[in-house]
Amino acid sequence: MKKYYLGIDLGSTTSKAVIINEKDEIIGRGITNTRANYEVAADIARLEAIYNARFSLLKERLADDDSFSTEHERYISDIENVFQFLQFKNRLDKLRIQLIQTAEETIHAEDKEAIKKIIHSIFDKIEPEIRNAYMKGDLGAKSEFFRDIIGERYHDGVAESEKKYFEELMVLFDKSITPVENEMVEFDFKNLVHQAMEILDSKYSELTKQQEDKSYHFDAELNLLMGNRKDISNSLQTHIDYIAVLDIHIANMTGTGYGRALLPFPEESIKSEILCHAFGAHAIFPNTRTVLDIGGQDTKAIQADKYGLVTSFHMNDRCAAGCGRYLGYIADELNISLNELGPLAMDSTKEVNICSTCTVFAGAEIRELINVGEKREDILAGLHKAIVMRAMSLIARSGGVRNEFTFTGGVARNQAVLKYVTALVKQNYGDEIIINIHVDSIFMGALGAAMFSRRGVDVDLPDQKKNRKELNVLAK
């Protein structure tokens, strides 16, 4: 039996899971927002990674089968999108029920029906919107998490409905989202994939009908798919069924991240995120010597040797200035989403000089700057720069930047941060420094953890049942 290894990185804002094979290759990734219940967050990430792994293994399997061609990949990606939507929909339905139930229990009789009606109408509108977004593989750049996606759309829906119920509707949401979000749901993979395939079926038949609609983008692959989708889905069926029940044998797992101590793992399976980030970054970029990781709660500058082992590290001091969390405060202050910060800052033509990267003072400072007429994008540019300056001083503390330099963590996905990191690294340490950023930068910690678990003592679990039981500990 093939062995797989799981790494879980329980961060302060997001929880990540990575599954690797025996060659340290990532075969599954899962990510969710960290919430009050850390274990649920870790478990959701873990399940997502397992589903994702099944799809990877499916693709791998198909690649080995000569009778399949590239168009099948497209089909499988489509299935994966719909698959995700179905999971989303499950929560969406639960949230609707929860909202109605909460309304039933807490709203005065005279308003009850009106409010319930509004909730239904909002959800009736949201559901097809989200479905379409998943179908097109396009949820916008804003956020990929249930709470964020649904929160924003619900809020829009409330804003469009009767003003007199605004308060009640918002309170209902706040009361209902948490239990739904913290509830652990396990899906039957096979069943869900079949559902997905059925939905896709209808998608493609609809598309055939709309051939003339010029606004819809057609490409060769899609054309092919539409022509012989029935054949494809039939021929895939056996592979899918095989993968759906395949035992993804997790031989060992390691937890890391800010909340790692809260994971129900034995002590030897808990590793510091410092070690994991360095190890993960090194696996992707083997020449990595200096790693910068900007996470939600901590910023770390790490020096590693040629094996990816840590020789020295520095973390931010007591105040969380300059961490991802700081960007969260700023986003709240400006009433925009976290993922919009970077792009906005990139529009700046001149950054405002920001003095305090203190989270406590940031709000007041921003308000004052807006009062004196500074542009929002220029303030944001200044704030991003200030954060990067803090990170640069941490790097200097740990011994400076050595070639190559790898930037990891969720904040590495922020374009403005990236711009200043690149500029300041080159300015202070020379143009010859190679700067690595990977699309999987946010998964580096989880990857490192998975790699540690592969190198640790293998927990050889005899059968699938035991394996599942072991993993389900997470859900409790």
Sheet holding 290-294, edge to edge: 310-315, 299-304, 290-294, 405-408, 435-436
The rounded distance, in Å, linking the Cα atoms of 304 and 186 is 39
- Minimum Å gap between C-beta 295 and other proteins is 11
Helices (H), 163-314: 166-181, 189-209, 220-245, 273-284
Sign (positive/negative) of CA torsion 60, 65, 69, 74?
Answer: negative
Enumerate residues 436-455 that contact other proteins by CB under 8 A: none
Enumerate residues 371-390 that contact other proteins by CB under 8 A: 371, 389-390
CA 358 to chain centre: 27
Is 57 a binding residue for other proteins by CB under 8 A? The answer is no
Q: What string of DSSP letters covers 197-225?
A: HHHHHHHHHHHHHTTT-TTS---HHHHHH
- Minimum Å gap between C-beta 349 and other proteins is 19
Is 191 a binding residue for other proteins by CB under 8 A? The answer is no
Enumerate residues 220-259 that contact other proteins by CB under 8 A: 258
Cβ closer to other proteins: 30 or 322? 322
- Which position among 40, 149, 196, 315 is part of the footprint of other proteins (CB under 8 A)? 315
| Tokens representing residue 285 in the block | 């970029």
Q: What string of DSSP letters covers 400-458?
A: ---SSEEEESGGGG-HHHHHHHHHHHHHHH-TT--EE--TTGGGHHHHHHHHHHHHS--
- Which position among 235, 312, 422, 436 is part of the footprint of other proteins (CB under 8 A)? 312
| Tokens representing residue 259 in the block | 């909340």
19 touches 266 (CB < 8 A): no
The rounded distance, in Å, linking the Cα atoms of 321 and 68 is 52
- Minimum Å gap between C-beta 364 and other proteins is 7
Closest alpha carbon to 451 in 251, 295, 248:
251
Is 326 a binding residue for other proteins by CB under 8 A? The answer is no
**φ/ψ bin of 4: left (φ > 0), alpha (ψ from -120 to 50), beta (otherwise):** beta
User: Binding residues for other proteins, how many (CB under 8 A)?
Assistant: 40
Cβ closer to other proteins: 12 or 102? 12
- Minimum Å gap between C-beta 397 and other proteins is 5
376 touches 406 (CB < 8 A): no
DSSP-derived 3-state class of residue 188: coil
- Minimum Å gap between C-beta 316 and other proteins is 9
DSSP-derived 3-state class of residue 67: coil
The rounded distance, in Å, linking the Cα atoms of 179 and 160 is 26
- Minimum Å gap between C-beta 372 and other proteins is 8
Is 351 a binding residue for other proteins by CB under 8 A? The answer is no
- Minimum Å gap between C-beta 454 and other proteins is 15
Closest alpha carbon to 291 in 438, 157, 407:
407
Cβ closer to other proteins: 67 or 371? 371
110 touches 56 (CB < 8 A): no
- Minimum Å gap between C-beta 389 and other proteins is 6
- Minimum Å gap between C-beta 355 and other proteins is 4
Q: Which stretch binds other proteins (CB under 8 A): 40-48, 115-123, 318-326, 411-419?
A: 318-326
Enumerate residues 391-420 that contact other proteins by CB under 8 A: 392-397, 399
Cβ closer to other proteins: 200 or 425? 425
Cβ closer to other proteins: 57 or 388? 388
Is 360 a binding residue for other proteins by CB under 8 A? The answer is no
Is 10 a binding residue for other proteins by CB under 8 A? The answer is no
Site mask for other proteins (CB under 8 A), range 291-310, x = bound: -------x------x-x-xx
Burial of 432 (0-12, 13-18, 19+ CB in 10 A): exposed
- Which position among 354, 387, 451, 471 is part of the footprint of other proteins (CB under 8 A)? 354
Cβ closer to other proteins: 157 or 448? 448
Cβ closer to other proteins: 159 or 364? 364
Site residues (vs other proteins, CB under 8 A): 258, 261, 271-275, 298, 305, 307, 309-315, 317-319, 321, 353-355, 364-365, 368-369, 371, 389-390, 392-397, 399, 424, 428
